[in-house]
Amino acid sequence: MASALPLGDPAPLDGLLPADSARDAASRNFGVYLHVPFCRVRCGYCDFNTYTATELRGAKQSDYASQAVVEVDLARRVLEQSGVPSREVSTVFFGGGTPTLLPAENLVRMLAAVRDAWGLQQSAEVTTEANPDSVDADYLKILADAGFTRVSFGMQSAVPHVLRTLDRTHDPERVPLVVEWAREAGLQVSLDLIYGTPGESLENWRTSLESALASQPDHLSAYALIVEQGTKLARQIKSGEVSEPDDDLEADMYELADEMLSAAGYSWYEVSNWAANDAFVSRHNLAYWQGHDWWGVGPGAHSYVGDTRWWNVKHPAAYAERIAAGHSPAAGRETLDATTRETERVLLLTRIREGLRVDSLAAEPRREVAGLIADGLIDGRSAIQGAVVLTLRGRLLADAVVRRLTS
């Protein structure tokens, strides 16, 4: 089952935000994330807030689009009544779960609700995640005709035994086909890969990278497998059924990915993401790392406006009950204090290509920078006005660097 919600303060039933949430809002972009919490099967490594048909208990998948549309309208009213200035939406992202388990018309209806509530910027990026076996050419054309601009396929691996360990159900040979259909529909294409699966060798990983590159996607994501407590994979590792991921091998896999993707002309712009050029960078994900605002729609979805973060009730049945009662589905929230904001700023900005300006740090962290560069943990390079920018490449180093710069 999905991971637990964070601890926080109770959220009001009307969903209204603290008055200072509106401060400087006009200087930030506004995005919308729509969580579709349904999967055909539960992957053994996944602890996302997702549900198979047998786990819904009191909720109907067929009702979900209508409920999401109601929350979008609630979001519009909450922001307006909280004094947050209306902004056209810059990015929309349908994630899950598997959004494309819903009929294409449902996704189109949800996007129309977002457009009606706030409007979309002329160049808005609109993405949906999809499994390679959950769409066909007609489905993708319906999305493109409705204003979707981008699809992110969960490829994960091209090696059958790796896919089996991950409980992925698609045929790897289908990936080039769905990429072709997406291109014919006029959609940008991203492929998501996972490395470090138990039993996956460096050569297996090379095979997956070569296969992904053969489809010439516009964007590639490569994420190290994390074993989450409570998942099937965690139980398999504990029982000795499969081996635990090897950190050193994962580091080698990361370096191989960077080497191969760079050689193929892709540019790294965040620790786990590469794009064929800047036009194909995921602007929705960048908005998270750059501290912009977003509203998360759906069960378990998280939102962030100003310094206020909140999260919805997890189960689709509880979500449906809140929506039917006319209440906010928010389960809890927190207001970030100055220390938390600074820690998150360092954590997020050191992960992206633009990096973090050292002259924006307090005095003590600034003194740490020379040591970090000397230790080879970060790259230091010149930037505008001679300020040093630090950029971190490599997930395994992130926590140590952030601790040294914010402690």
Q: Who wins on pLDDT, 382 or 192?
A: 192
Check residue 376 and give its pLDDT: 66
* Segment 158-175 mean pLDDT: 94
What would the pLDDT profile of 264-316 be if each residue is shown by its tens digit?
999 999 989 999 999 999 999 999 999 999 999 999 999 999 999 999 999 99
Check residue 208 and give its pLDDT: 98
* Cα 279 to Cα 287: distance, rounded to the nearest angstrom: 15
State the span(s) of the chain assigned CATH 3.20.20.70.
9-335
What is the model's pTM? 0.92
Q: Is the pLDDT of residue 356 over 80?
A: no
* Cα 241 to Cα 289: distance, rounded to the nearest angstrom: 37
Q: Is the pLDDT of residue 182 over 70?
A: yes
Check residue 47 and give its pLDDT: 84
Check residue 346 and give its pLDDT: 82
What would the pLDDT profile of 3-14 be if each residue is shown by its tens digit?
677 889 999 999
* Segment 230-254 mean pLDDT: 90
Cα separations in angstroms, 387 against 154, 357, 358, 359: 39, 6, 7, 6
Pick from 360, 362, 344: nearest CA to 402: 344
CA 21 to chain centre: 23
Check if the beta carbon of residue 262 is closer than 8 Å to that of residue 256. Answer: no
Q: CA end-to-end span of the chain, whole Å?
A: 34
Check residue 406 and give its pLDDT: 64
> Could you tell me if residue 165 is left (phi over 0), alpha (psi between -120 and 50 degrees) or otherwise beta?
alpha
DSSP string, 326-348: T---EEEEEE--HHHHHHHHHHH
Q: Who wins on pLDDT, 271 or 141?
A: 141
Q: Is the pLDDT of residue 140 over 90?
A: yes
What would the pLDDT profile of 19-73 be if each residue is shown by its tens digit?
899 999 999 999 999 999 999 988 888 888 899 988 998 999 999 999 999 999 9
**Looking at 210-224, 351-365, 379-393, which range is the least confident one?**
379-393
What would the pLDDT profile of 66-113 be if each residue is shown by its tens digit?
999 999 999 999 999 999 999 999 999 999 999 999 999 999 999 999
Q: Who wins on pLDDT, 368 or 204?
A: 204
Rounded to the nearest integer, the mean pLDDT of the chain is 90
Q: Is the pLDDT of residue 2 over 60?
A: no
Check residue 359 and give its pLDDT: 79
Check residue 378 and give its pLDDT: 63
Find which of 18-22, 262-266, 379-383 is predicted with most confidence, using mean pLDDT.
262-266
Number of separate helices (H) and strands (E) present in the chain: 13, 16
Superfamily of domain 9-335: Aldolase class I (3.20.20.70)
Find which of 146-155, 229-238, 361-370 is predicted with most confidence, using mean pLDDT.
146-155
* Cα 306 to Cα 290: distance, rounded to the nearest angstrom: 13
- 251 half-sphere exposure, CB direction, 13 A CA radius: 8
Check residue 384 and give its pLDDT: 34
Pick from 114, 81, 92: nearest CA to 15: 81
